[in-house]
């Protein structure tokens, strides 16, 4: 037995059988179970409960055992003074408020159907490894319910990303352009170097980029040096030496902090080398002024593709690393890479910005990301193995949210799909 099931039983009114009575034999009628509390304090706020024909309005606390009240030190916490009912699976001790008054207790174990308990136990049955707990029934879940839950999950994912953006905005004193640069730098660093790129971008005041963006070579020298790629020993390449000399000047001029480590190349395909990505990032900011304002104005995917239609500087057409030539090729941002920028940076930033300025862009953002192809990863493959096809990037993002925040954490009773499965015929 877990406490989350008791929350589900109480919130969903899954109490069957005879008249409810407290452990003191008082008649109990639930007029309203209250509002679930996701933070500290009692589990349900503003419940309405009739106890022996007298209606009480207040809070409800739920525990596996009555003695958990004292184990959690609620008797000394004023947040629990307005608890009107203690709901438990097993009543093993009387519970009193700080003023000494007895809190009525409802013991649930005699009021829950065996079918519901069996269904719950089957959901969490651990006899064999599972991708998700409800995998046997997942493919049969109503498509209408699935569609609406995925929509909600995607908005939830955007809300989580928006909170992280708000943290960056606070650090940058609401410099939206600077936050965009930091987030793009993380994306250009990919999984291997993303965190390193983000950290270094946050250590570079965006005003410096504005000041040097008039010269593409100066901007490249700034970014290559700041991201630790001009510390190569014994490189005689003329382009490298020019960048290195310029960065030493810029470093002194702007009092830049040196990189304590370098980006990784191992495990990356050459087009994803940090040298190529930094050159592309420099080209983007050298050619696009007020990039944040541009991106907030566009609402069509093709317009975003047009903004990011850039390539590395000419030196990198026949290089992947400094001083070593390679077969000549134009190194442009691929459409799949641009899609990742839209998914991971542009849409979350537009979502956060729209909240700040009081606009509702949710439907527009859903339409935008729904035009992008689904992502390919182990989570999406796992759902497809269960017969659940993924149509686009909105659904793949929603399923990532479902798996990481619900399935893998066994939060089935906070999931619309899990509660639907438990609600059947109960």
* CA angle 7–10–11, rounded 5-degree value: 80
Of 93-107, 302-316, 386-400, minimum mean pLDDT range: 93-107
H or E segment and range at residue 51: strand 44-51
DSSP string, 258-269: PPSS----TT--
Report the pLDDT averaged over residues 327-349. Answer: 97
Q: Of 183, 155, 184, which is closest to residue 167 (Cα–Cα)?
A: 183
Which structure tokens are listed for 405? 């925040």
DSSP string, 302-329: HHHHHHT--B--GGGGGEEETTEE----
Alpha-carbon dihedral angle through residues 398, 14, 45, 88, given to the nearest 10 degrees: -110
pLDDT, tens digit (0-9, with 9 covering 90-100), for 175-221: 999 999 999 999 999 999 999 999 999 999 999 999 999 999 999 99
pLDDT over 70 percentage in the chain: 98
**pLDDT at site 234:** 79
More confident residue, 342 or 40: 342
Asked whether residue 287 carries a pLDDT value surpassing 80, the answer given is: yes
**pLDDT at site 181:** 97
Report the pLDDT averaged over residues 112-126. Answer: 81
């Amino acid at each position: 037995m877990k406490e989350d099931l008791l929350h589900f039983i109480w919130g969903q009114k899954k109490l069957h059988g005879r008249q409810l009575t407290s452990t003191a034999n008082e008649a109990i009628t639930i007029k309203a179970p209250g509002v679930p509390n996701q933070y500290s304090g009692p589990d349900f706020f503003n419940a309405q409960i009739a106890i022996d024909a007298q209606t009480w309005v207040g809070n409800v606390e739920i525990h596996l055992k009555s003695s958990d009240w004292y184990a959690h030190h609620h008797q000394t916490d004023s947040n629990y003074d307005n608890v009107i009912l203690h709901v438990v699976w097993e009543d093993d001790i009387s519970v009193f408020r700080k003023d000494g008054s007895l809190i009525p207790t409802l013991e649930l174990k005699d009021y829950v159907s065996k079918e519901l308990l069996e269904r719950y136990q089957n959901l969490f049955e651990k006899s064999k490894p599972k991708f998700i707990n409800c995998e046997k029934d997942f493919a049969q879940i109503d498509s209408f319910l699935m569609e609406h839950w995925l929509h909600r999950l995607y908005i939830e994912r955007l809300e989580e990303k928006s909170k992280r953006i708000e943290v960056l905005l606070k650090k940058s004193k609401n410099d939206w352009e600077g936050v965009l640069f930091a987030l793009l730098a993380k994306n250009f660093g990919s999984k291997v170097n993303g965190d390193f790129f983000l950290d270094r971008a946050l250590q570079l005041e965006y005003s410096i980029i504005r000041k040097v963006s008039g010269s593409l070579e100066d901007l490249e020298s700034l970014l290559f040096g700041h991201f630790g790629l001009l510390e190569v020993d014994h490189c005689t390449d003329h382009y490298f030496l020019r960048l290195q000399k310029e960065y030493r000047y810029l470093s002194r001029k702007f009092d830049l902090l040196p990189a304590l480590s370098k980006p990784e190349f191992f495990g990356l395909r050459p087009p994803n080398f940090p040298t190529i990505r930094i050159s592309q990032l420099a080209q983007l900011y050298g050619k696009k002024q007020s990039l944040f304002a541009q991106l907030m104005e566009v609402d069509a995917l093709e317009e975003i593709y047009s903004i990011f239609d850039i390539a590395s500087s000419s030196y990198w057409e026949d290089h992947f690393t400094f001083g070593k030539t390679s077969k000549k090729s134009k190194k442009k941002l691929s459409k799949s890479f641009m899609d990742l920028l839209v998914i991971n940076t542009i849409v979350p930033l537009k979502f956060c910005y729209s909240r700040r300025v009081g606009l509702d862009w949710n439907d527009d953002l859903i339409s935008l990301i729904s035009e992008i192809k689904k992502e390919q990863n182990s989570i999406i493959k796992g759902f497809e193995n269960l017969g659940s096809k993924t149509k686009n990037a909105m659904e793949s993002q929603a399923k990532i949210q479902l798996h990481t925040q619900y399935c893998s954490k066994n939060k089935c009773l906070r999931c619309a799909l899990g509660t639907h499965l438990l609600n059947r015929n109960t």
